Amino acid sequence: MPIETHELPVTRLTHGPKLHWFGYYDKFPWDQSGRWLLAMESDFDERSPRPGETIRLGRLDLGGDRVFQSFAETGAWNWQQGTHLQWLPTEPETVIYNTLAGDHFGAVVHNLATGAKRELPRAIYAISRSGRQAVTLNFARVASTRPGYGYNALPQLAGPDVPDDDGIWTVDLASGASKLLFSIRQIYEMGTTESMVGARHWFNHLQYSTDDSRFVFLHRWRHDAKRFYTRMFTANPDGSDIWMLNDQGASHFDWQGPRHILCWSPHRDQGLRYVLYHDLTRETQVIGADVFQTDGHCSYSPDGQWILTDTYPDKELKRTLILYNIAENRRVDIGRFWSRPVVPPDPHQEVRVDLHPRWSRDGRSVCLDSTHERERQMYSIDVSPIVG
């Protein structure tokens, strides 16, 4: 299948001298109306954040001057996922984000219209589509195992290698009450392999299914800085009915409806590919085998007909932005973006700027972070000429 190229006009949303980004690809920066876009702002981006350093949180009025309007600061953040800033579905004009609250990480529910704030005693990771609950993990632990994805402000909270009192929690977003669903040790003991013994273990990348009936998470472990291993699991929101989808490695993923997950991972017959897993079964299907050869940050369009993804830098230091029509097996490359190299080289590449493309709620636009104009800023692209 030939790959089409249809480069689309790019609109710059944020401007220097400050640096701006949104973070990961699995959240909507747009509010329900499509008028407001969330963003984060920093004075630097060439190194890892140090304990005590904060970033500013804000929004852009896309129907107005697009000036960054700051509404808060936080000391709980990283370069890859920011502070998990996102809109709260249950309350209009309300956002939620993580904070450094003295000796622990917490979260704040913030009404931008009234200024009212409500504090939660535990930081959040993924919010249910209903907006009533969240699942979360130990951000200090992730910082010690996967730099760039956790918070390094409180390293003493990282904990032992295979703890039985640390794992994945559920958080009631109305009351703030939280409960440990299962521990790292519990998952460790589900099919322990030789590579897992003597390693340091952690959880990462949580996401609810489209109907909130399940959530997915990654179990990872490593012996040194060179390599880590991954298993992918799903579970009910109360922590029951845990199911191992894959024990051979997993990277970026997204739910396709309530029972299927697309993930870049090894396939038994075709090597590394985008594989569609059927939850609670052993059924798998390779997607776009003839047009996808590399990993990317994949997500489904709101109508489920398209996949949006990207690539890591090629030999020209450019990242490709891709739309893929599932029914037609049609790949359309809509842009290539120069990527500023990390200098000096960082073995963790913590400060790299991935495109992390994100859909608008109506599926007609995408938003991305990029350095193709030599500084970290946010951009949007009208994709309606392709997706209709």
Q: What element of type H or E holds 385? A: helix 384-387
Chain mean pLDDT for the chain: 96
Whole-structure pTM value: 0.97
Q: How many residues belong to the chain?
A: 388
Q: What integer is the mean pLDDT of 47-59?
A: 96
Domain chopping of the chain, boundaries: 125-251+253-259
Which residues, 6+ apart, have CB-to-CB distance to 236 below 8 Å? 213, 214
Confidence tier at 348 by pLDDT (50, 70, 90): low
Q: Is residue 346 predicted with pLDDT exceeding 70? A: no
Percentage of the chain modeled with pLDDT above 90: 95
pLDDT tens for 265-314 read: 999 889 999 999 999 999 999 999 999 999 999 999 999 999 999 999 99
326, 240, 219, 233: which is closest to 279 by C-alpha?
A: 233
Confidence tier at 347 by pLDDT (50, 70, 90): low
Q: Tell me what pLDDT residue 109 has.
A: 98
**Per-residue CA distances from 27 to 19, 83, 154 (Å):** 20, 12, 26
Q: Tell me what pLDDT residue 269 has.
A: 85
Contact in structure between 201 and 162 (CB atoms under 8 Å): yes
Q: Quick one: tokens of 153?
A: 């402000």
Q: What integer is the mean pLDDT of 184-209?
A: 98
Residue 385, preceding peptide bond in cis (omega within 30° of 0): no
Which residues, 6+ apart, have CB-to-CB distance to 184 below 8 Å? 162, 163, 164, 166, 167, 201, 202, 203, 219
The type of residue at 292 is F
Q: Is residue 320 predicted with pLDDT exceeding 90? A: yes
